[in-house]
Amino acid sequence: MEAEPAKIGDLPYVLESLDKETEKEIARAGYTLEAASAFMHERLRLGMADVLWHKGRALAVIAWRIDFEGLWTSFVATEQFFDPSVPSVRFGRKHMDVLQGRYLGAPAIALRYSNRPQVRRWYELIGFHLLSQSGPGRIFIRTGISVPIET
């Protein structure tokens, strides 16, 4: 897998092939697909979104915003992204290191509304731990990483 800054054409491709559970997760979070798409497009315009590629296909878009609490992540993916043959968890850990490094090691935060039984395990393998749960929402946090500062 590889990541690169997302371009305008990447997001529609992922959204057109959106995983059904991801679509339900968006609804459980209280958003429409249109609102989620608008948010992701805004992040993309701000340079705060990466497209994740595997074997020449755009499989997911991860977007983020940064505030005083940390690096809040958002994520949409195709059904293929969740195929066991895609090294998404291993790649996710490396990519989170890169994202956190861009923001001086800020903690990464993910608010998830997924009903997938594997979600907690996936996040733990990427380096997150469950911080709290409220109704269907779970907040996962990945503590800040140490980033060398060049002088």
Per-residue pLDDT at 50: 97
- Name the residue ranges covered by the structural domains of the chain: 2-142
Identify the band that residue 150 occupies on the pLDDT scale cut at 50, 70 and 90.
low
C-beta of residue 114 within 8 angstroms of C-beta of residue 21: yes
pLDDT at residue number 35: 95
pLDDT reported for residue 140: 95
Quick one: how many helices (H) and strands (E) in the chain?
A: 5, 7
d(CA 74, CA 63): 5
Tens digit of each residue's pLDDT (9 = 90 or more) over 10-28: 999 999 999 999 999 999 9
Give per-residue pLDDT as tens, 49-65.
999 999 999 999 999 99
CA–CA separation, 99 and 71 (whole Å): 8
Half-sphere exposure of 59 (CA within 13 A, CB side): 20
- Encoded amino acid at 131, one letter: L
Q: Which CATH superfamily is domain 2-142 in?
A: Gcn5-related N-acetyltransferase (GNAT) (3.40.630.30)
Q: Is the pTM of this model over 0.85?
A: yes
